[in-house]
Structure 1
Amino acid sequence: MVCGGFACSKNALCALNVVYMLVGLLLIGVAAWGKGLGLVSSIHIIGGVIAVGVFLLLIAVAGLVGAVNHHQVLLFFYMIILGLVFIFQFGISCSCLAINRSKQTDVINASWWVMSNKTRDELERSFDCCGLFNLTTLYQQDYAFCTACWDRAA
């Protein structure tokens, strides 16, 4: 069997899209499992992971249908969407690499004060710390500020 022409490309694209479909289903399943077990309480995080899984699943189905049916228009838009996703991911990766330690601290500090008290309590219990950078001076005076300290004090 010679691997040339559209037959080899078709088979490779079909296999790749089946893998993408499995990854999309895995994302949806892991998000539902995490919510079901109570590991993640933020509906925004769960919703985001499920949305990414559904998006990946839809893109994979479009690529699979385009490859099997030799549908050039569908494959063209599939290629355009994957190109845009690549550019988006590349931009996010570059911006993450460009952030230095002080900017990371600023971003973490800003997000800490925006999140709900329930989320803070869950983070403090999970990581066995009090406060953002485990600064315990405020919490040593009054344990009511940190639920993780309640477990240690008891």
Structure 2
Amino acid sequence: MCGGFHCSKNALIALNVLYVMVGFLLIGVGVYGRASSIVTNLPIIGGILACGVILILISILGLVGAVKHHQVMLFFYMIILFMLFLIQFSIACSCLAVNQSQQREFAEQGWSLAPIDIKQQVQDEFICCGFNSTVTDDHPSCENVNAICCPKGSPESCACSPCMPKLESTIDYAFRLSG
């Protein structure tokens, strides 16, 4: 029969083990999001990482409270877990609520703050030149990528397309994955 403290204790232990796994999953998603977003320095990804770490710490608190039957520890565990739920829900809603123009603004801010070597890495990886325009001087030289974009014998005016159209799908995917 299940109905006493022993059953509740085992259920709480199982739930906290599940929370530890979810915490590691959140950390994995955050690390993947940070690794896949070269240009965009999105604070939401840092929030996901922080929530994963905090969830693991809170679940350890719940495990200790359940095993030792410490009521005060379990009370604070419940309050902290509820607050963490609210934070995670807010982050998920904000990720899903960001529209294309806001994503473009974030990308422009990230591009303007990114160092030259990161911009060069983006241009090489996405085979593009500049952010919104290839004629501005806010990006490194495009000689390497133009050699890939333009076949031999092309006119000298041949240039690769800007990076923003190529980054839009990656940025949108990162927001949807985080949400």
* Common topology (TM > 0.5): yes
**Which residue number in structure 1 is paired with residue 145 of structure 2?**
149
Instruction: Tell me: higher relative CO, structure 1 or 2? Use CA pairs within 8 A at least 6 residues apart.
Output: 2
Structure 1 outlier segments of 4+, above 6 Å? 38-41
Quote the offset at 1:150 in angstroms.
6.5
Root-mean-square deviation over aligned CA pairs? 3.8
Distance 1:130 1:8, change over 3 A: farther
**Which residue number in structure 2 is paired with residue 138 of structure 1?**
135
In 2, distance between residues paired with 1:123 and 1:100?
23
**Which residue number in structure 2 is paired with residue 125 of structure 1?**
124
| % identical equivalent positions | 45
Matched residue type, 1:100: N
Quote the offset at 1:130 in angstroms.
2.9
Aligned 8 A contact 1:59 1:78 in 2:
yes
The answer to whether 1:19 aligns with 2:18 is yes
Aligned 8 A contact 1:130 1:149 in 2:
yes
Aligned 8 A contact 2:24 2:56 in 1:
yes
Comparing both structures, which one devotes a greater share of its residues to helix?
Answer: 1
The answer to whether 1:9 aligns with 2:8 is yes
Of 62-71 and 124-133, deviating more is 124-133
Quote the offset at 1:10 in angstroms.
1.6
5+ unaligned residues in a row in structure 1: which ranges? 32-37
Quote the offset at 1:22 in angstroms.
4.2
The total of aligned residue pairs comes to 139
**Which residue number in structure 1 is paired with residue 88 of structure 2?**
89
Q: Given the two structures, how large is their TM-score scaled by the length of structure 1?
A: 0.65
Q: Given the two structures, how large is their TM-score scaled by the length of structure 2?
A: 0.57
Quote the offset at 1:23 in angstroms.
4.9
Distance 1:87 1:40, change over 3 A: closer
5+ unaligned residues in a row in structure 2: which ranges? 153-179
